[in-house]
A and B are shown apart, each in its own frame.
Chain A
Amino acid sequence: MTRKSLYFGLVLAAAAGALALANCNKQAPGSVADIAARTYVPPGEYDEFYAFLSGGYNGQVSVWGLPSGRMLKVIPVFSMDPETGYGFTEETRPLLMTSYGEIPWDDSHHPHFSQTNGDADGRWLFINANNTPRIARIDLTTFETVETLEIPNTGGNHGSSFVTQNTEYVVGATRFSIPVAKDADVPIDSYKENFGGMVSFVAVHPETGRMSLEFQLLVPPYNYDLARAGKGPSADWVFFTTYNTEMAHTLLEIEASRADKDFILAVNWKKLEEAVRDGRARPMEASYYHNYYDPAQGTAVSVAKSGTRVLYPADVPGAVFFLPTPKSPHGVDIDPSGELIVAGGKLATVIPVHSFSKMLAAIEARDFETEVFGIPVLRYESTIAGEVQNPGLGPLHTEFDGKGYAYTSVYISSEIVKWSLSTFEVVDRIDAFYSIGHLMIPRGDNRNPAGKYMLGLTKTARDRFLPVGPKQNHPAQLYDISGDRMVMLSDFPTIGEPHYAQAIEASRLMPQSKRIYSLEENNHPRAIKRPEDARVEREGNVVRVYMAHIRSHQRPDNIEGIMVGDTVYFHHTNVEQDWDVVHGFALKGMTNSEVLIPPGQTRTIKWVPTRPGIYPFYCTAFCSALHQEMQGYVRVSPAGSNPPLLWRTGNETRSDLVARAP
């Protein structure tokens, strides 16, 4: 070996060594460290997105941070929550009121953000109740449920709660067709004669968000599954999927799967609005409840309503059409441009994609195949823009990344397929664990999606996590969709059964999140603004305790003069104005619930004591260093003993003896 070649070899070796060293310092793409780093949010730092997952049969909404998958909060909606007292306190119970009485539960499926110009605006989150038809509104400054509206003439509000482009309406759609007449007593096998479907348009007040059932549209007795409003050019339209166009009323798994095609119902809501304005809507008997938090009263109120305005398709020509679509379609999702209408035909072998402009042209040309129940049926070939071939078995629901691609969840083959909106060709596919329902891309249903991550909401965990018995929690998988290929980042259990979800940039919600309820603006008639105003009052058999909570005592903390037979209302006010300083109240023998009182709020819990004795109470929230000292006693005397009311805090004792003196 010449000296020159020796030097050359040494230089090469050194270069190779340096290269190897340099590589050591980077995480190889796709390595565990690289994947882990993409979901890692260091302690004290924030996630990039808020995700709101429906709770399904727990009736709640859970709030998560993405990409970490950390749970931030559970918001009770159609549920009673013994943690916060939601649904137990006098202020929140009205939100659970329906025309069937107080219903403490529901099955909440599809959360949807309020939108401005087709993009989520972070003001409110709507969510449907599938069982006893309702729509709720969550305030995204307090992350609390502030309104629920019952939807009458509806058999299961599944195709809900989707909003139009500027939140003019949030829609409802009956999953089950039911008899059109209120409280009708008819044979079930008179389905085709007596039953009907209903889609509902709930107007949303642009400032307050207050909902009102504006009008309903009577539709054929099919099952209505999901809905989406159009955007951009299609903003005046709402699309609903139907199945069971066979109109079966028993053994639907067979009977409702016979037809090769069902329909997408296309509704021009602007024209319906005009028809209602022209007085073409017919009054229909109905009773339903509208419940909302009233800031002026500091509590939720229930208002019983009756009657609705119903439009019949024949009364609104040119506003209602059917698009034949294979086969028992689930999702109907509009691409960011507002042109493509993607159906998830869950028994279909392709993903059919309709064109909105072709639909308009076909309507213009009266290119109708037939007419059912007075509704023109467009020809499939006239409206279809393309069919995505080989999408897997059981395509359900599609969202968009804003970069020209669609992502469809596929239930039976348990995968997600990514396909091009221009070629309708599948470009990538990835497994889901297991049996995916909906998927969600942050604002992936908006005009401008934030297509960086995707969350798959799967139905069974099976062997994915440490086993926890025969019933396990439903998982979610986070994918990175910023590159050409989808990459699975993490897999984590959720709570309830998230059917659908919404996510939005943290920067949109963080600045508006409230830290306290202003005591100054607390208009609750039984609020006390200063600890000194704490007192106990008797009105016949009703005893009202106006209790102040402040670190680290309740005021008053000794109460005497209550008798068996009394109804006691504890009106708790947390007089603190410090972020996250929450007090709780629990009382031995309380047949109601514990209650948490956030700073500045007033919450009332009702108690009917049945036995005399001394009842300790305490603060349930670890509020301060002397939280364990935050306690007191209620004395309950036998019925009829008529003891004087007495209440005490430290060396300050008050009583109603003076008032009782002759």
Chain B
Amino acid sequence: MRNPARLLMVLAGLLLLPAFWLPLWSIGLRAPQYSDGLGMYIGIRDIWGHEPHDIQNINILNHYIGMKSIDPAAVDVLSIMPIALGFLIAAALVVATLARPWPIVAWLAVFAALSAAGLYEFWSWNYDYGHNLSPDAPIKVPGMSYQPPIFGRTQLLNITATSYPSWGTLFIGLAFAAGIAAAVLAFRGRGRSPGRRPAPARATTTGTAAALLVVLAGSASLSGCTPRGADAETLPGAETLAPGLPCDYCDGVVPEARFGAELVTVDGARYRFMSTECLAAFILDRGIQPNEIRSARVVDYNHGRRLIDARAAYYVRSPHLPSPNGLGLLAVETEKIARNLHFFFHGERLDWEGVLRTVRAEWQL
């Protein structure tokens, strides 16, 4: 093993050090009343607010929907993770002194395993907070859970939650990249005759680039995997309308998995819509008769990702509800959920005929 690999392993160990202090992940919450946003950082040892009192304020808001109070002292893994990180750093230094390629690979494997475990732990922590809701919660929206995403953005009632890796994770990624580069160099160096001078700079660059690619791909695949939560389990064979599909009625696109509608006519033509309003307007506009429809389905707002029969769905219309076309119209599967939404958001409850009437009147069709 050549000196560059050794140095890279030392560098890998050092790069891990900032992760003791820097946040690994950042979750941001934004609501109409919180235009500045609230947020928290998740670190190796602690969870803290973007601003000094954010955790307290998040807890106060969360108690209405029955979420547990976030108390860093009660999160066991925060006492274990620093040990794991310390171990990785110590191991990196030991591996550097060993000067052999396979220990580097072993180190990388342990590193990857610990990272995966950490991410899983983070996800399951999120899942627990988002799903294990107090039965005494003042605000209960049936079927609603409040798990923030691992990576990306989601709408939870009035709150837009975003979640992204933070600076600490960048350093961890760089440490991993350094480790891979060290491994590449170590393997190459083994094949060379001792007398020849290698081209360390180039090798390092290539190795680092390769390593970075691997890390990026790894993190992308980790973040890309959608955890099978309760929603998914209760929806076997759920059909979806992918966000981004162009609407066949208006110029829009399906904005997110909670919205959208679909029409299949008896002649087999399939149309997709960004909203219930567009489906209704399309039917009214073209004068499509009930006997020409094979199926008309809308996305169940409460679950998202599931298409339900538009003519059997329950609708709530309220200026306080979001809908992509601005009529404040949402479809849900059961009357109970419709009643609940109506209780919180007021407005009116409609059936399919009511939806057609409303769209005809509002859009003057």
B138 lies within 8 A of chain A by Cβ: yes
**CB–CB A578/B60 < 8 A:** yes
B97 lies within 8 A of chain A by Cβ: no
**CB–CB B60/A550 < 8 A:** yes
**CB–CB A578/B53 < 8 A:** yes
A550 vs B63: C-alpha distance in the bound complex, in angstroms? 11
A contacts with B: majority SS: loop
A511 to B: closest C-beta gap in Å: 14
**CB–CB A578/B57 < 8 A:** yes
Q: Which residues of A contact B57 (CB under 8 A)?
A: 576-578
Known contacts A625-B139, A626-B138; A516 and B60 CB within 8 A of each other = no
Q: Which residues of B contact A629 (CB under 8 A)?
A: 138
**CB–CB A577/B56 < 8 A:** yes
5 further A-B contacts with Cβ under 8 Å, apart from A550-B60, A576-B57, A578-B53, are A577-B52, A578-B57, A578-B60, A625-B64, A625-B138
Instruction: Mark contacts of A623-640 with chain B using CB atoms, 8 A cut-off: 1 yes-contact digit, 0 otherwise.
Output: 011100100000000000
A471 to B: closest C-beta gap in Å: 39
Q: Of residues 284 to 340 in A, which have CB atoms within 8 Å of B's CB atoms?
A: none
**CB–CB B53/A626 < 8 A:** no
A516 vs B54: C-alpha distance in the bound complex, in angstroms? 13
A551 lies within 8 A of chain B by Cβ: yes
Q: Which residues of A contact B64 (CB under 8 A)?
A: 552, 624-626
**CB–CB A576/B139 < 8 A:** no
Q: Which residues of B contact A576 (CB under 8 A)?
A: 56-57, 60
B contacts with A: majority SS: loop
What are some 22 contacts across the A-B interface (CB < 8 A)? A516-B53, A550-B60, A551-B60, A552-B64, A552-B138, A576-B56, A576-B57, A576-B60, A577-B52, A577-B53, A577-B56, A578-B53, A578-B56, A578-B57, A578-B60, A624-B64, A625-B64, A625-B138, A625-B139, A626-B64, A626-B138, A629-B138
* B36, closest chain A residue (CB): A579
* B139, closest chain A residue (CB): A625
A359 vs B56: C-alpha distance in the bound complex, in angstroms? 63
A475 to B: closest C-beta gap in Å: 34
A319 to B: closest C-beta gap in Å: 52
Q: Which of A576, A577, A629 has the most CB of B within 10 A?
A: A577
A551 vs B52: C-alpha distance in the bound complex, in angstroms? 19
* B57, closest chain A residue (CB): A578
Q: Which residues of A contact B52 (CB under 8 A)?
A: 577
A576 vs B59: C-alpha distance in the bound complex, in angstroms? 11
Instruction: Mark contacts of B186-199 with chain A using CB atoms, 8 A cut-off: 1 yes-contact digit, 0 otherwise.
Output: 00000000000000
> 8 closest A-B pairs (Cβ-Cβ)?
A577-B53, A578-B57, A551-B60, A626-B138, A577-B56, A625-B64, A578-B53, A550-B60
A552 vs B138: C-alpha distance in the bound complex, in angstroms? 10
A576 vs B55: C-alpha distance in the bound complex, in angstroms? 12
Q: Of residues 603 to 662 in A, which have CB atoms within 8 Å of B's CB atoms?
A: 624-626, 629
A350 to B: closest C-beta gap in Å: 55
Interface residues of A (CB under 8 A from B): 516, 550-552, 576-578, 624-626, 629
A593 vs B139: C-alpha distance in the bound complex, in angstroms? 33
Q: Of residues 52 to 110 in B, which have CB atoms within 8 Å of A's CB atoms?
A: 52-53, 56-57, 60, 64
* A625, closest chain B residue (CB): B64
B259 to A: closest C-beta gap in Å: 25
* A578, closest chain B residue (CB): B57
A626 vs B138: C-alpha distance in the bound complex, in angstroms? 8
A550 vs B61: C-alpha distance in the bound complex, in angstroms? 11
A577 vs B56: C-alpha distance in the bound complex, in angstroms? 8
Q: Which residues of B contact A551 (CB under 8 A)?
A: 60
Q: Which residues of A contact B60 (CB under 8 A)?
A: 550-551, 576, 578
* A550, closest chain B residue (CB): B60
A576 vs B56: C-alpha distance in the bound complex, in angstroms? 8
Q: Which residues of B contact A625 (CB under 8 A)?
A: 64, 138-139
* B60, closest chain A residue (CB): A551
* B61, closest chain A residue (CB): A551
Q: Which residues of B contact A578 (CB under 8 A)?
A: 53, 56-57, 60
Instruction: Mark contacts of B27-66 with chain A using CB atoms, 8 A cut-off: 1 yes-contact digit, 0 otherwise.
Output: 0000000000000000000000000110011001000100
A624 vs B52: C-alpha distance in the bound complex, in angstroms? 21
A375 vs B128: C-alpha distance in the bound complex, in angstroms? 84
Q: Which residues of A contact B138 (CB under 8 A)?
A: 552, 625-626, 629
A511 vs B112: C-alpha distance in the bound complex, in angstroms? 45
Q: Which residues of B contact A577 (CB under 8 A)?
A: 52-53, 56-57
A625 vs B60: C-alpha distance in the bound complex, in angstroms? 12
B29 to A: closest C-beta gap in Å: 13
* B35, closest chain A residue (CB): A44
Instruction: Mark contacts of B155-188 with chain A using CB atoms, 8 A cut-off: 1 yes-contact digit, 0 otherwise.
Output: 0000000000000000000000000000000000
Q: Of residues 243 to 287 in B, which have CB atoms within 8 Å of A's CB atoms?
A: none
B307 to A: closest C-beta gap in Å: 32
* A577, closest chain B residue (CB): B53
A284 vs B64: C-alpha distance in the bound complex, in angstroms? 64
* B158, closest chain A residue (CB): A625
Q: Which residues of A contact B56 (CB under 8 A)?
A: 576-578
A274 vs B178: C-alpha distance in the bound complex, in angstroms? 73
A382 vs B101: C-alpha distance in the bound complex, in angstroms? 98
A145 vs B74: C-alpha distance in the bound complex, in angstroms? 42
Q: Which residues of B contact A516 (CB under 8 A)?
A: 53
* B56, closest chain A residue (CB): A577
A598 to B: closest C-beta gap in Å: 14
A626 vs B136: C-alpha distance in the bound complex, in angstroms? 14
A550 vs B64: C-alpha distance in the bound complex, in angstroms? 12
A530 to B: closest C-beta gap in Å: 11
A625 vs B344: C-alpha distance in the bound complex, in angstroms? 10
A569 to B: closest C-beta gap in Å: 27
* B52, closest chain A residue (CB): A577
* B58, closest chain A residue (CB): A578
A551 vs B58: C-alpha distance in the bound complex, in angstroms? 12
A551 vs B64: C-alpha distance in the bound complex, in angstroms? 9
A533 to B: closest C-beta gap in Å: 16
Q: Which residues of B contact A626 (CB under 8 A)?
A: 64, 138
B69 to A: closest C-beta gap in Å: 12
Q: Which residues of A contact B53 (CB under 8 A)?
A: 516, 577-578
B64 to A: closest C-beta gap in Å: 7
A550 vs B57: C-alpha distance in the bound complex, in angstroms? 10
